[in-house]
Amino acid sequence: MDQKLWQECVRFHGHECPGLAIGYRAVEIAKEYLGDVFSPLYDEEVVCVTENDACGVDAVQWLSGCTIGKGNLIYRPSGKMAFSFFLRKSGKSIRLVMKPSSNAVQMSREEKQRHILEAPAEEIFMIKKPEYELPERARLFASVVCEKCGEAAPEYKMRLTDGKKICSDCFTDYYRGW
């Protein structure tokens, strides 16, 4: 484990915790499988799909260079402690899903963190191929002004109600289902 990188992640996140360790290990393992192409120099070449919005995502951002703003960190809210990494040029990918741990209940917070950082990869994660395709590159959309609140939103987020362009915040969904 690279102590300097770990301390940089801790500084970025604000504290040490088992959750941060999960993201740290996910990137370490992804590097082993995909190659060490995790660098800002590669910009959007590496894409990470995170299925959670927990502490580990901060380590993923810091170590991989993937960010929501660049469009190469995508949040897919399944709630699973899972990270999928894709390389655009080569098409290589890996999905890391945290394994349920029966002995984690007996461990202290510090012991859990150390275990996540030091145990063999296969003991911490299920290592798979993603079951979905590489997300497309981030696209730019025209902004449209909501005719109700006056705030602008990208055109793909707008809805049409009574002939007016309405943002998702102002839109009232119509549901008569079962």
Q: In the chain, where does the domain assigned CATH 3.30.1330.130 lie?
A: 3-128
CA distance 113 to 110: 5
What's the pTM? 0.82
**Domain 3-128 top-level CATH class:** alpha beta
Tens digits of residue pLDDT in 10-53? 999 999 999 999 999 999 999 999 887 766 555 678 899 999 99
Residue 134, pLDDT score = 84
Per CATH, the number for 140-178 is 3.30.60
Q: In the chain, where does the domain assigned CATH 3.30.60 lie?
A: 140-178
